[in-house]
Amino acid sequence: MDDEKTRFLDTLLLRLAEVYEEGKDHVVLLKDETQAEKEVLAQLRAERSITKRRGGGWSFTDVGYEKYTTRIKALRALEKLN
């Protein structure tokens, strides 16, 4: 995965985790995704980590949240260091 996709994935995972932890009725809205971002979303959908919700927003599935929990914790730890 190239740098642009990795940065987008990391940012998206943090946003999805925040929303997931707040409650399942919340979604992450994205506008005007780049091709790279669309590819990341497609990958996450294919592995059933995210789902598209009514109104066009995205949310973690339970499987996706569990799969990425370790990475999310690491990203949050890095944020605290900066």
pLDDT at position 24 is 63
More confident residue, 23 or 64: 64
Q: Where are any strands of DSSP class E within 1-82?
A: 50-52, 58-60
pLDDT at position 23 is 82
Residues 47, 61 contacting (CB under 8 angstroms): no
Domain 3-81 part of CATH 1.10.10: yes
Which amino acid, 70?
A: T
Residues 2, 36 contacting (CB under 8 angstroms): yes
**Predicted confidence (pLDDT) per residue in 8-28, tens digit:** 999 999 999 999 998 867 788
Residues 13, 1 contacting (CB under 8 angstroms): no
